[in-house]
Structure 1
Amino acid sequence: MRLFSSLCLLLLALLSVVSGRSAVGDRVLVILEDESQKGLYSKFWADLEDRDFKLSFESPRNEQLSLFRHGQLAYEHLILTPPKSKGYGPTLTPKILLDYVNAGGNVLLGLSSESGTPSAVSSLLLEFDISLSPDKHSIVVDHFNYDKVSAAEKHDVLLVERPGQLRPDVVNFFGGEGTLAVPRAVGQTLGPAIPLIAPILKAPMTAYAYNPGEEAQSVEEPFATGSQLNIVSAMQARNSARFTVLGSLEMLQDKWFGATVQLPGGKTSKTVNQEFVKQLTEWTFQEVGVLKVFSVQHYQITTASEPSQNTTQIWEYNPEMYRIKNDVKFSIEIGQYDRTHYVPFVVPDTDALQLEFTMLSPFHRLPLTPSTTTDNSTIYSTTFTTPDQHGIFAFKVNYKRPFLTPIEERHQVTVRHFAHDEWPRSWAITGAWPWVGGLWSVIVGFLLFVLLWLYSEPPKEEIERRRALSVSTS
């Protein structure tokens, strides 16, 4: 009976894992200070629940709130709405939120210019090299790309096209057609020193950030302008945890999902905020863009010496030692998580997956090409010859691209010299034939000389002359 109950519990656990859309878990904690604002985002909550996420709403004032339970994450995902006080309280300090990210938790941070940005939030973002305006109520405006219906005077509802591809070698998880309505956004700037951060949605070229509380008619020194301003930014840590900064939390409200907006030229269109927000949360909660290495193999290959044998012979898999000038094959199996399951990972045509065979510096840097495809993965492989250098080497695959979980595989091996019985014989080396021939010619010549000396008798006249000379002298 106990065995049957254990099997049932195991089956239920497996079913719960399969039913979840995220690669890491389905528990979401929503920090919402004002409970009355929950109804403004009903479509957003419903979309998350339709994707099998389990939402828990808590107030930052709850002293019993904790992101960890028994040393593990209590929630895999966290949604932070703008606080009305100076911060999120003692249970959600910047230190605790950093520990949460370091433990692998995903965070969606929403900002709003109406409620202001507390200094605790600004200091948290500075840890990721994401900067906000020193004015807590700074807002992004654009006098050329705004909604004439809802922002005819303040021009603070931006109309932005959906983001394009960041770089030719980067997968675009947020693209598409349509117009986004971005009401009362808080702009961010990204530092150039950290490659872990990337912009998702940038402000138009004619936008700028300023404090509406200032009475000046013109802004002389704005915080940032044009494409320097980011409306949505992302940070992906080395442990694959994802932190997304949404400059306008109002984008998630029901009234902006499919709303009718009007450009200054008079053209009207429907907003695609709902589709964009779905793409944004899919990436933040690790439903897409998650890479997994299923296996890594390397082995020595040799060509058969006899025609009756196989053309290629494989030695043991993943050995710890190779010899110089060995032919080696390396392969890595990679899958990409796509909402419910893993699919084969395909490297973009403008990008390359590479293998480095390195000691202190790479001796080989080779492209890995797809050799086999399974239902859930793609096997990339390459073949090369170990260098004529002994020492400690490593197979290294370092693939890091924005919006994809990083791949960093390193397998150490030893490369040795030839053993004494592995060197080719002298007669097998054509370049040694003159030296071998010279050696044997000396030996044969010496033997012929000895034979000639031993068996050649001097003339009889010479013998008699020497004998008579010896008698006369005596």
Structure 2
Amino acid sequence: MRLLASLAAAILALVAAAGAASSTGSSVLVVLEPELDKRKFSTFFGGLEKRGYELTFRAPRDATPLVIEDDVPKFSNVIVFAPSTKSFAPDLLPQSLVNLLSHNVNAIFTLSTAQTPLTSLASEFSLIIPPPHTPLISHFPKRSLPPTTIPITPPTSHSILTSNLPPILFKGIPHALGTNPFLVPILKAPEESFATDSDSDSGADALVDAADKGGEGLWAGSSMGVVTGFQAHGGARALWVGGVDVFSDEFAKTEVSKGVKSGNAVFCQDIAKWAFQESLVLRIDSTTHNHVNVTHDADNVPTQYTTNDMITYTTYISKWDPESRRWTPYSGINDLQLEFTMLDPHIRTALPAVRGTPGKYEVTFRAPDRHGVFKFVVDYKRKGWTHLHSAITVPVVPPRHDGYPRFLSAAWPYYAGAISTSVGFVLFSALWLAGDAVSEKARGKKKLE
């Protein structure tokens, strides 16, 4: 009976993985505040369900369903559409949400001009939020929309976004980016936009004063972000959006120019794909190292190397394919590097892909002429992509007593000097001894005469 239960659980896990567009899972908890009608976000939620996600809705103050129970996450992804909520259930407090990232749970957060716990949480991700009730406004270009509803042209080429998207309609609050290297800028504010507590041009005086003072008082220009991602060290992803209206059906159907709808519908699916680890997801399948031209079994990897040995290092890398929903070998990394380190890198070399073998990267190098405990280190970090890290420790030892060459070609002058000295000594000793014998015979002949 127990065997049948285990088999059934394994089958269910395989079925769930097969239906997941995300590399981490298909379950999504949507925290939706009561003031928001989920029917107004049907385009966004419908796109998620079409890709195989299972959406579960919950209010911010509801006690169930729990996001995490007994330190085990119940959902693979979380969407927090509660920009104005000021109190949350215990499992949705800021510290609890940060803890989810350590369990590889992805999250999408939306902000508003109101001061909420999510505003404080944003600072944990190195996002600097302007004072409350200071929305982003722009009077350019001239349009029929309010100044707080801004069309933003997305980057023409961005690894996360679809190419050549129409302008994105945005309404909400901007944020300044800190120096955290894990931040991934996705959409920035227009150059002519600024954050102020007024929709009219009277706010320009505040901008002038802020510019004279310098510092964080100046909330203007393209240095501000409106949609920013965060790639955690363990692989989990968080997405911060300055306004929930970006996901609304109203913005998705609004025309930004005659006959051209906004790019919000496609844009929201693009950023959700990234946040839920559908796109730009890599992993290291295996790594191995061995002496050149020597094949070792997986259980018989060299435990040490000798100085000046020729070493071959090999790694296999895969990329998640959301269409086939499986990991596929990936050879598209052109700037992968390998470091052979002992405190500091002694060798840093390119780790190129091997032609004809998808997903295989290999390099051969000579071990340094220095013994110690070294590491093979692969540390690949690029904005938007999964961080790849691998470290294997291996000692490098001096040659054994019988491992040194007996004769060195560079030492022949010394060999010749030692041999000539020895030969000279023998000849001198022989002549010296022979000379004494001849003199004794000569003196003996003289005595006989």
Q: TM-score, normalised by structure 2?
A: 0.89
1:128 maps to: 125
Q: CA deviation at 1:207?
A: 0.9
Give the Cα separation in 2 of the matches to 1:392 and 1:399: 22
Closer/same/farther in 2, CA of residues 207 and 283 from structure 1, 3 Å limit = same
* Contact 1:140/1:209 (8 A) holds in 2: yes
* Contact 2:60/2:85 (8 A) holds in 1: no
- How many percent identity over aligned positions? 29
Closer/same/farther in 2, CA of residues 461 and 230 from structure 1, 3 Å limit = closer
2:366 maps to: 385
Matched ranges for 1:283-298 at <5 A: 283-298=274-289
2:391 maps to: 410
* Contact 1:82/1:117 (8 A) holds in 2: no
Matched ranges for 1:361-372 at <5 A: 361-372=344-355
Q: CA deviation at 1:64?
A: 3.8
List structure 1 runs of 4+ shifted beyond 6 angstroms. none
Unaligned runs of 5+ in 2: 208-216
2:328 maps to: 343
- Paired residue for 2:168, among 181, 184, 197? 181
- Paired residue for 1:225, among 220, 227, 230? 220
- Listed one character per residue, the Cα deviations across residues 321-359 of structure 1 (whole Å, up to 9, x for unaligned) are 11101000111111111212223334455xx11111111
Give the Cα separation in 1 of the matches to 2:163 and 2:330: 21
* Contact 1:111/1:186 (8 A) holds in 2: yes
- Listed one character per residue, the Cα deviations across residues 209-238 of structure 1 (whole Å, up to 9, x for unaligned) are 111389946442365111122110111111
1:162 maps to: 154
2:415 maps to: 436
Closer/same/farther in 2, CA of residues 438 and 122 from structure 1, 3 Å limit = same
Q: Which amino acid aligns with 1:366?
A: T
* Contact 1:258/1:272 (8 A) holds in 2: no
* Contact 1:210/1:219 (8 A) holds in 2: no
Closer/same/farther in 2, CA of residues 217 and 47 from structure 1, 3 Å limit = closer
Structure 2 counterpart SS, 1:289: coil
Give the Cα separation in 2 of the matches to 1:29 and 1:289: 23
- Listed one character per residue, the Cα deviations across residues 243-282 of structure 1 (whole Å, up to 9, x for unaligned) are 10111211211222243223xxxx5522121111111100
Q: CA deviation at 1:90?
A: 3.5
Structure 1 counterpart SS, 2:167: strand
Give the Cα separation in 2 of the matches to 1:46 and 1:13: 24
- Higher alpha-carbon deviation: 457-466 or 230-239: 457-466
* Contact 1:65/1:91 (8 A) holds in 2: no
Q: CA deviation at 1:41?
A: 0.9
Q: CA deviation at 1:122?
A: 1.4
Give the Cα separation in 1 of the matches to 2:308 and 2:199: 72
Q: CA deviation at 1:4?
A: 5.7
Closer/same/farther in 2, CA of residues 344 and 145 from structure 1, 3 Å limit = farther
Closer/same/farther in 2, CA of residues 277 and 433 from structure 1, 3 Å limit = same
Matched ranges for 1:57-96 at <5 A: 57-96=57-96
Q: Which amino acid aligns with 1:63?
A: A
1:24 maps to: 24
Closer/same/farther in 2, CA of residues 156 and 126 from structure 1, 3 Å limit = same
Q: Which amino acid aligns with 2:313?
A: F
Give the Cα separation in 1 of the matches to 2:425 and 2:419: 10
Structure 2 counterpart SS, 1:418: coil
Q: Which amino acid aligns with 1:465?
A: K
Closer/same/farther in 2, CA of residues 348 and 297 from structure 1, 3 Å limit = closer
Give the Cα separation in 1 of the matches to 2:23 and 2:414: 67
Structure 1 counterpart SS, 2:422: helix
- Listed one character per residue, the Cα deviations across residues 40-91 of structure 1 (whole Å, up to 9, x for unaligned) are 0112111111111111100112134522123211111111113444233444
- Listed one character per residue, the Cα deviations across residues 8-41 of structure 1 (whole Å, up to 9, x for unaligned) are 5423321221221111111100011217611101
* Contact 1:28/1:56 (8 A) holds in 2: yes
* Contact 2:58/2:64 (8 A) holds in 1: no
2:377 maps to: 396
Closer/same/farther in 2, CA of residues 248 and 39 from structure 1, 3 Å limit = same
Q: Which amino acid aligns with 1:201?
A: L
Give the Cα separation in 2 of the matches to 1:416 and 1:188: 53
Matched ranges for 1:297-308 at <5 A: 297-301=288-292
Closer/same/farther in 2, CA of residues 217 and 5 from structure 1, 3 Å limit = closer
Closer/same/farther in 2, CA of residues 355 and 183 from structure 1, 3 Å limit = closer
Closer/same/farther in 2, CA of residues 85 and 185 from structure 1, 3 Å limit = closer
1:253 maps to: 248
Aligned residues: 434
Q: Which has the larger radius of gyration?
A: 1
* Contact 2:227/2:241 (8 A) holds in 1: yes
Over the aligned positions, Cα root-mean-square deviation in angstroms equals: 2.6
Q: Which amino acid aligns with 2:45?
A: W
